[in-house]
Structure 1
């Protein structure tokens, strides 16, 4: 089946070759590090940021709403992955190294899989946008990691730039467009969860440093 995007031979391919070509002069340890980061490391970093955001959200005055927003981020990523199944099948775009064997492929196991859109890029940007909606500072850091994720996928030779941009666009559409519906369901859920024995997952216990200081002053 012919692909909708075709065999890219313009700026898309030129940018891919420019990024992938950096591996020619890079030490082998750099290539292996970028390959690991592009497959696992950056997503793990985003997961860590999400955990930090959750710890901070539990101490906010609007904790149930903030926690609901953070819960939406991974759920949105799951929806992105489901949405990508028919998209990738319809576009039917092979990996860039299939039509361009001169590219350096630094990760294994991608043969026979499709290129558009980039799952890794969609997951990374979905987590970044979801986190930004709750915590802008952490969200901006996550956004940088998401961009690096896309660059890493080109560096290792498994995605065109438009695959990466497509992943970013898919993530943004799912996270932002479905957020009102998701929050309408998740906010009541987190409020209800806060009234159960699982309350610490939603609302952190109040700090007692002020009380201890008063008790210490009275004792003195």
Structure 2
């Protein structure tokens, strides 16, 4: 069996699960389409905890995503294929998607970029982050908008970028300096608001 045949065969195995277990389709659609909002919320919460390690983790996630996206665009120039629903018959397509080059998967790149970065900084939650990224990748196959090779390429690119960024960015003194200055600025902005809130609470009493 060739790589192309294996790619299609594995796609059929996962995508056909949506036909066999239709009751799981709403969950797959949610993960494939809307889990990105939960990821954004997690990033915002981590950033505003005002923890230096947490903010470095977010910075590394953003840098990883930018680098991985650039690598993904380059990979897309070297190889291209349309979405499965545009290339194969009888695909169980559960979400709308414009036909374009689906290699590699941008969704997978996004999730693996942040989840791998979070995993490297917080090993205690490693299973959760990798499971989340993997579920998103599988869901994109389930809903019919990506081949397994699309998501696998996105994951590999993000893992390579994430590990490289983790080994380099936290060692750059300028990054620490910028984070410290941002934190100082944020404290300057929030301090008058906090004092005003405390004053109003005392007046109410």
TM over 0.5: yes
Aligned to 2:135: 148
Which among 64, 71, 77 is matched to residue 65 of structure 2? Answer: 77
Q: How does 1:121-140 map to 2 (within 5 A)?
A: 121-140=108-127
Deviation, 1:161, is 1.2
Q: How does 1:122-201 map to 2 (within 5 A)?
A: 122-183=109-170, 184=172, 185-194=174-183, 196-199=184-187
Q: Report the TM-score, using the length of structure 2 for normalisation.
A: 0.78
Aligned to 2:18: 23
Deviation, 1:170, is 0.6
User: Residue 197 and residue 23 in structure 1: after superposition, are their counterparts in 2 closer, same or farther (change >3 A)?
Assistant: same
The question of whether the paired residues in 1 share the 8 Å contact of 2:65 and 2:158 is answered with: yes
Aligned to 1:8: 4
Q: For 2:57 and 2:84, how far apart are their aligned partners in 1?
A: 36
Q: Report the TM-score, using the length of structure 1 for normalisation.
A: 0.73
The question of whether the paired residues in 1 share the 8 Å contact of 2:46 and 2:54 is answered with: no
Deviation, 1:7, is 8.3
Residue 98 of structure 2: SS of its match in structure 1?
Answer: coil
Does 2:90 correspond to 1:91?
A: no
User: Residue 200 and residue 18 in structure 1: after superposition, are their counterparts in 2 closer, same or farther (change >3 A)?
Assistant: farther
Does 2:42 correspond to 1:49?
A: yes
Residue 90 of structure 2: SS of its match in structure 1?
Answer: coil
In the alignment, structure 1 segments of 5+ residues that lack a partner are 1-5, 202-220
Deviation, 1:159, is 1.3
Q: For 2:12 and 2:46, how far apart are their aligned partners in 1?
A: 37
Aligned to 1:206: none
User: Residue 182 and residue 103 in structure 1: after superposition, are their counterparts in 2 closer, same or farther (change >3 A)?
Assistant: same
Q: What's the C-alpha RMSD, in Å, of the aligned pairs?
A: 2.5
Q: For 2:37 and 2:187, how far apart are their aligned partners in 1?
A: 26
- Equivalent pairs, count: 186
